[in-house]
Structure 1
Amino acid sequence: MMEVKGNKLLLLIGTAWLFDALDVALLSFIMPVIKQSWHLSASQMGAVSAVTSLGMMIGALGCGYLADKIGRKPILIATLLLFSFGNLLLTVTPNVGWFLAVRFITGIGLGGELPVAATIIADHFTGTKRARMLVLVDSFWAFGWILASVLSFVIMPKFGWRITVLITALMGLYALLMRRHLPEKTKTEVTSKLGFGPALREVWSAKYRRATFCLSTLWFIIMFAYYGMFLWLPSVLVMRGFSVVHSFGYTVLMSLAQLPGYYLAAWLIGKMPRKVVLTIYLLGTMLSAWAFGTATTETMILISGAWLSFFTLGAWGIMIAFTPGQFEVSVRGMGMGFAQSIGRMGATIGPYLVGSLIAIGFKIPAIFMVFVGALIIGVIVLLVGLRDEDR
């Protein structure tokens, strides 16, 4: 089969991040609508948020393993099929029970997409080129969030959330046609003969144990901080009178601020060690989180929020560049999938912890200090535990 060139592969694989961001962002816009129309309780709203993350945990681990066992391309196509099929079903859900069931299915597809997509890039490139390509495909997350904002502010008010979701399902089917042009297999790709249990034991063997533990911890912390700060706390800021955080302009600004964060990270990776670049971005995330949490004016919220987007998503991109290269090709999908499945636990716990802390009287600045503390642990794990080299 003719080799897929770098730029074409970048666009094909980038759709994985675009759809993942599109779905996460769109759900945050849909939840207030279904809360009102279906008269949902706080616990039901929590379930709607958590069930997708549960599906993502299972999808990351299961699809990562299957990518090693069966091959990257068929599993990546299968994850997009699940996403598109799930969103088609979502348009006809009559109540919250069916909505939860369908969101679980969709979550499996979404959670499985990113580790497999990152593994394909890692299989095609080596060294600095690999790291830069992984950061650049992760930058498609910003485009997905912007697209969700446009759909939510332009389409949803006129045609409702069901038509909006239908549009995303049709977009997924179009991307499915594009993915037929993915290469069948790279020169380095091999099909693993290990069963699920042995493959899982392999990534926890002496050879990979240190990398698996450190990467899983870092993914947990980064997703814990990102989802806790970006999905839950804007609602708190609205209650404090800062309605700008639910405006179209704010949402697009936060999304656009991510892009220079990604692109600078991709450039810096070729100039200095990845551990140094990631440390800089994690420290930047801490400072931005502190500024955002203590902001008292809309101007400060906008400025600190933009910097928070810049550093947090840039750190996510560098982690994408770090993770797959820590595992040899035969267990790369499982290693990437396991680390990200642990991260999805952080994505579930972060928003819930915010609600719990507020319920017992914590103020917003104190809550952001919790995230700062977690990020400090992340920096220590990074500097002490990870090697800045690829296999």
Structure 2
Amino acid sequence: MTENAAGSGRSIAQRLDALPFTRKHGRVLTGSGIGWALDAMDVGLISFILAALTQQWGITKGEGGLIASIGFAGMAVGASLGGLLADRIGRRQVFALTLLVYGVATGASALAGGIVALLVLRFFVGLGLGAELPVASTYVSEFAPARMRGRLIVILEAFWAVGWTAAAVIGYFVVPVSDDGWRWAFAIGAVPAMYALAVRWGLPESPRWLLGKGRAAEAERIVASFEQQAAVRDHAASLGPKDAEPAPALAPLAKGGRIAALWATEFRSRTISIWVVWFCVNFAYYGAFIWIPSILVDAGFSLVRSFGFTLIITLAQLPGYAVAAWLIERWGRRLTLSVFLMGSAVSAVVFGTVHAEAAIIASGMALSFFNLGAWGALYAVTPELYPTSLRATGAGWAAGIGRIASIIAPLLVPVLLLAGGAGLTFVVFAVFFLIAATATWGLVDRGGKALDDR
């Protein structure tokens, strides 16, 4: 990068941080959030579809775990490759491509005639889905003003609750209606394929990424359009005291490629910590929420009743996100994340040991509240750990490591249930939540500070 380009980069970064929240920010947030919600709807649907296929196809819990895990295998590959691609060819391009891939594969899943076809299609669904999530959070974080960046990322993550609630509604009203209900559920999940085109042409590219590629004129036009809408004329006067302070000068990035740079001395400890957090949170979250409908059926509740319980439990995700969004700019990223993870651990133990309907619903709602609040904080802190040239790669690889856990968890749950029932299973989840809460303190908290735009 030339000296002028670097100087332009500093100016544009400060101008982005100085902006108020505009309609253009809202479009970036909503456009990314709808894709996020559609992702959640797809992931959520599989938990209801597994319960239905157990009755209709007579699949075993081991086969059900394989169907769930193969999707997460695709997500692990997608997250790792998606981050690398987003740092190379742009955030918006990869975002649209991933929506298209998993939307088409989800629609095709409605036509699956057996387990083998469903397994192949679920892998491709995961491939697109895994790449989209870390890219979307990176994309929004690079537009968000520093003083509200954490809150906006938690709001982005809150779209997950909207999508998961939509999955619960579809699971409750569509899946049990007929033997083809699960096929209609997959067909509804194909909506992202159509939405991908709107994303591709309707959202701007990240100015920070454009600057890193030497495309300063394009970056300038995008930032100027935001400023024009916000009527910002005097950039220096509009900067608050914290926003005006430039990011500290840091050492050059490590040689040897983006993945090697994640393990440079500067980033090694935060990379280890964030990988541990992602691994543990994925293990506990997907192990629990993919199997909750089936666990309730095994406890003696009807398919429709277990789906109804799951819908109620899912609704608690929204206040969890709301509280996390409020706390993350007051308590900071690390404290908010660790508190919500500890709340998840306590809720998991209670959920696994109670039997009364009211207690199941209450503890399930608490688990949903704390766990999804933790997810919001996790997605907020992850992109902030790395500079712009590594941001999508770092977020993608952290998510990819987490997806390894989401592959293992659905396969391990049947073994845990057989060995010690729901009690043992959810105690194991609680242990993983506590490990994640501890690892949180190895992260860097950049709340309210400028992003590193190297």
In structure 2, C-alpha distance between the alignment counterparts of 1:91 and 1:235, rounded to whole Å: 21
In structure 2, C-alpha distance between the alignment counterparts of 1:79 and 1:284, rounded to whole Å: 33
Residues 295-318 of structure 1: CA deviation (Å, up to 9, x unaligned):
121111111111110000000110
In structure 1, C-alpha distance between the alignment counterparts of 2:367 and 2:398, rounded to whole Å: 23
Residues 235-293 of structure 1: CA deviation (Å, up to 9, x unaligned):
23432335589544322222211111101111111222221111211121111112111
Residues 168-187 of structure 1: CA deviation (Å, up to 9, x unaligned):
21354135324421102324
Give the corresponding residue for 1:203: 262
- AA in 2 matched with 1:273: G
C-alpha displacement at 1:35, in angstroms?
A: 4.1
Give the corresponding residue for 2:363: 304
- AA in 1 matched with 2:163: G
Give the corresponding residue for 2:353: 294
- Structure showing greater Rg: 2
In structure 2, C-alpha distance between the alignment counterparts of 1:231 and 1:88, rounded to whole Å: 20
- AA in 1 matched with 2:104: F
Q: Does 1:89 find its partner at 2:108?
A: yes
Q: What is the TM-score of this pair, normalised by structure 1?
A: 0.91
Q: What is the TM-score of this pair, normalised by structure 2?
A: 0.79
C-alpha displacement at 1:4, in angstroms?
A: 6.5
Give the corresponding residue for 2:119: 100
Alignment of 1:314-329 (within 5 A): 314-329=373-388
Distance 1:283 1:245, change over 3 A: farther
Give the corresponding residue for 1:386: 443
C-alpha displacement at 1:227, in angstroms?
A: 1.1
Q: Does 1:230 find its partner at 2:292?
A: no
- 8 A contact 1:68–1:192 mirrored in 2: no
Identity of aligned residues (%): 38
Alignment of 1:143-292 (within 5 A): 143-156=162-175, 157-158=177-178, 160-174=181-195, 176-187=197-208, 189-190=210-211, 198-243=257-302, 246-292=305-351
* Corresponding residue SS for 1:149: helix
Among residues 143, 146, 165, which one is paired with 1:124 in the alignment? 143
Where does structure 2 lack aligned partners over 5 or more consecutive residues?
A: 1-21, 215-252
In structure 2, C-alpha distance between the alignment counterparts of 1:4 and 1:262, rounded to whole Å: 22
In structure 1, C-alpha distance between the alignment counterparts of 2:53 and 2:23, rounded to whole Å: 43
Give the corresponding residue for 2:424: 366
Q: Does 1:58 find its partner at 2:58?
A: no
- 8 A contact 2:293–2:306 mirrored in 1: no
C-alpha displacement at 1:112, in angstroms?
A: 0.5
- AA in 2 matched with 1:279: S
In structure 1, C-alpha distance between the alignment counterparts of 2:39 and 2:281, rounded to whole Å: 16
In structure 1, C-alpha distance between the alignment counterparts of 2:304 and 2:110, rounded to whole Å: 27
In structure 2, C-alpha distance between the alignment counterparts of 1:238 and 1:160, rounded to whole Å: 18
Residues 113-165 of structure 1: CA deviation (Å, up to 9, x unaligned):
00100010111124341111100010011111111122223233255322332
- 8 A contact 1:15–1:175 mirrored in 2: no
- AA in 2 matched with 1:144: G
Q: Does 1:10 find its partner at 2:10?
A: no
- 8 A contact 1:55–1:104 mirrored in 2: yes
Among residues 40, 52, 55, which one is paired with 1:33 in the alignment? 52
C-alpha displacement at 1:100, in angstroms?
A: 1.2
Give the corresponding residue for 2:404: 345
- 8 A contact 1:68–1:191 mirrored in 2: no
Give the corresponding residue for 2:133: 114
* Corresponding residue SS for 2:264: coil
In structure 2, C-alpha distance between the alignment counterparts of 1:289 and 1:160, rounded to whole Å: 31
Aligned residues: 386
In structure 2, C-alpha distance between the alignment counterparts of 1:93 and 1:364, rounded to whole Å: 31
- 8 A contact 2:107–2:188 mirrored in 1: no
- 8 A contact 1:237–1:245 mirrored in 2: no
Q: Does 1:375 find its partner at 2:433?
A: yes
Q: Does 1:141 find its partner at 2:160?
A: yes
Deviates more, 1:5-14 or 1:147-156: 147-156
- 8 A contact 1:228–1:354 mirrored in 2: yes
RMSD of Structure 2 on Structure 1 (CA): 2.4
Give the corresponding residue for 1:47: 66
